[in-house]
Amino acid sequence: MSKKALCIGINDYPGTQNDLSGCINDANDWAAELAGRGYAVSKMLDSQATHAAMTTGITSLIHGAVKGDTLVITYSGHGTWVPDSSGDEPDGRDEGLCPWDIGSAGPLLDDQIRQLFDSRTAGVRILLLSDSCHSGSVTRGIEDDLDPGHPRARFMPLEAWMPANELPAASARPAHLVGGLKRSGGDLLLAGCLDTQYSWDTSFKGRPNGAFTYYALKTLREGNPATYEAWFKAIRAYLPSTKLPQDPQILGSAAARRFKVFA
């Protein structure tokens, strides 16, 4: 049995005026954590993370796995959506991850990710950790580590990357990204927020990070939770908070939630 991971972080979105600051740190932080837990880790940062490279990287990771292997894919960057063309989305939108070259290649959609995940060999476990807006209530979580200032939403508006003549009517465009990556497949999805919320790009102790990634790693290192369910509960002690109104999500079967973390 082997353990492999692909960590993707994109701060730079050329031509969109929607650059982020914490995604490279997120990817490097996840990579270091996973390597320390025995994973063979690959990274894609900024211009390395094109649509084609992300597709190829995920495909190679999955097709190279055999029964008993565990795969982890982390993504930190913008999320976005396009009008659903296949009729399989109740909200009429396909959601996706934003590659570095989204302006020319478009997003990596949930339908595409699901097809890639469905091609795995039986017995291969896949965990997707997404710190992006794809996914509202606000409670007061612990905010001691959060730097003052205004965090930025990890949501890429259609106007920033889609040609004007292809934009859907304004009435069809929500303020938030709805629907999410729930259809992406795999065993577990740990996501930064609800379908109706933003994941926030901010700074902690002078260092940029995604809020979800920061607290996920903080709770993992400090509490050493045994299962994904226990880990998720620990993260919820921090999020949502007054300044970070995002509700992390865990999606997967009851059995998958009881898997040992990164085992």
Work out the angle between the directed axes of helices 23-36 and 211-223 (0-180°, nearest 10): 20
Distance CA(211)–CA(215), nearest Å, equals: 6
Pairing mode of beta strands 152-153, 200-204 = antiparallel
Task: Please calculate the CA angle 193-196-202 and round it to the nearest 5 degrees.
Answer: 45
Active site (annotated) includes residue 150: no
User: Which strand (E) or helix (H) includes residue 31?
Assistant: helix 23-36
Distance CA(129)–CA(64), nearest Å, equals: 20
> Active-site residue among 7, 23, 98, 133?
133
Helix (H, G, I), strand (E, B) or coil at 206: coil
> Active-site residue among 78, 98, 134, 193?
78
Give 62's contacts (C-beta < 8 A, 6+ positions apart). 71, 116, 117, 119, 120, 124, 126
Active site (annotated) includes residue 7: no
Catalytic residues: 78, 133
